[in-house]
Amino acid sequence: MLYHLLYPLHTDLSFFNVFKYITFRTIYSGLTSFVLCLMLGTTFIGYMRKLQIGQYIRDCGPSSHYDKKGTPTMGGFLIIGTTVFSILLWARLDTFYVWITIIVTIGFTAIGFTDDYVKQMKKEGEGLSARNKFLIQICISLIAGILIYLTPGFNTELHFPFFKDHTIDLGIGYIFFTALVITGASNAVNLTDGLDGLAIGPVTIAAATFLLFSYVAGHAKLADYLQITFVPGCAELTVICGAIAGAGLGFLWFNTNPAQIFMGDTGSLPLGALLGTIAVLTKQEILLVIVGGVFVMEALSVIIQVSYFKFTKGKRFFRMAPLHHHFEMLGWREPKIIVRFWIIAIIFSLIAISTLKIR
């Protein structure tokens, strides 16, 4: 919005020329969402307490989590609200990719809110059925896939990290692949959201990583030099990544152990979907597996646990899944698990960034 309102004034006052630069708008996009989170956080937490919207703890979870019962949830509204506001304020709104990310964000936030709301109505830890939630996620992801596929000149080829000449053109199948990436990323982040700050830390790190890839992929000369796919217009996603990272840091201020508020499905589902959408739009779909390595680990631990349980007729591969619960059951203290997972997330991001030169 500010770009469209203020940049045209640069002909009269050169200062307004700064709104032309994506780097400037990205920095202030992140600062805006961060400051808004800090300013609104305490009031939002108080409001959730007043409404008695608190977390319900499943009986099958670790016993150490019982003291978290009643902690305000639905903090995703704080993250997503400040993120979207910052995007609308600092991004170029004539960029189609910006609106695709906003559509996905709103759609998955609605799913997450409905799930959290049902939990509050039932006064228990179960929300929407897994089947219904998955079907709605797929529908929204397919809409996003269709919009991306119909974008003039969009490349439907898959590029693989560390290889510059190996590609697969999916054609119309790219729509379904996009739906798989967005839905998978959404659920993976949702599974990771089980400890104070465990999910928002890697989300912020992943957003910062994709900030770099968005800028490079949207810059013709840099993309050519680094031998990655040039995607006209995707540089504007840098501003979106900045907004996510800023909101993530702001929310972490209140979500760090011991958490004053949880993001709930209202936050974890849209944040994962956002990362998946950005990965698709920047043509770094496969790289998402590395950037979101922590989320992949968590999702795989659940798949392994369920499969092993069925195959062995009742035995467990992990003491408890997702993976962070396994370490809790081993006696690791919550802060230690969280920080170590953050360290792993940073290492994964550094490996992802290294692919820019290793091809």
Which of the two residues, 296 and 60, has the higher pLDDT score? 296
CA distance 60 to 316: 14
Band (174; pLDDT cuts 50, 70, 90): very high
**119-144 burial by CB neighbour count: b if 16+ within 10 A, else e?**
bbeeeeeebbeeeebeebbbebbbbb
DSSP state of 314: S
DSSP strand E in 98-188: where? 157-159, 167-169
Question: How crowded is the C-beta side of 294, counted as CA atoms within 13 Å?
Answer: 29
pTM: 0.93
**Position 61 pLDDT exceeds 60:** no
Band (127; pLDDT cuts 50, 70, 90): confident
CA distance 161 to 348: 13
**Position 284 pLDDT exceeds 90:** yes
pLDDT at residue 124, rounded to an integer: 60
- Among 125-129, 237-241, 275-279, 294-298, which stretch is predicted with the lowest mean pLDDT? 125-129
Looking at residues 8-26, what average pLDDT do you find? 89
pLDDT at residue 56, rounded to an integer: 64
Looking at residues 295-319, what average pLDDT do you find? 91
pLDDT at residue 123, rounded to an integer: 65
When the pLDDT of each residue in the chain is averaged and rounded to a whole number, the result is 91
Token pair for residue 145? 């896939």
Say what percent of the chain tops pLDDT 70: 95
Band (330; pLDDT cuts 50, 70, 90): very high
Band (194; pLDDT cuts 50, 70, 90): confident
DSSP state of 54: B
- pLDDT digits 0-9 by tens, 139-170: 999 999 999 999 988 889 998 887 777 888 99
Looking at residues 289-312, what average pLDDT do you find? 94
pLDDT at residue 98, rounded to an integer: 96
Helix H segments across 7-129?
Answer: 22-50, 76-90, 96-122
pLDDT at residue 248, rounded to an integer: 97
Token pair for residue 183? 């839905």
**Position 201 pLDDT exceeds 80:** yes
pLDDT at residue 208, rounded to an integer: 97
- pLDDT digits 0-9 by tens, 335-344: 999 999 999 9
- Among 37-41, 207-211, 315-319, which stretch is predicted with the lowest mean pLDDT? 315-319
Diameter of the chain by CA atoms? Answer: 75
Residues 6+ apart with CB under 8 A from 329: 62, 319, 320
Strand partners, 169: 157
Bridge pairing between strands 157-159 and 167-169: antiparallel
- pLDDT digits 0-9 by tens, 290-299: 999 999 999 9
**Position 65 pLDDT exceeds 70:** no
pLDDT at residue 27, rounded to an integer: 97
Angle at 248 between CA 100 and CA 196, to 5 degrees: 125
pLDDT at residue 135, rounded to an integer: 95
Q: Find where tokens 């693989």 sit.
A: 160
pLDDT at residue 313, rounded to an integer: 83
- Among 57-61, 148-152, 249-253, 304-308, which stretch is predicted with the lowest mean pLDDT? 57-61
- pLDDT digits 0-9 by tens, 70-120: 789 899 999 999 999 999 999 999 999 999 999 999 999 999 999 988 887
CA distance 36 to 324: 30
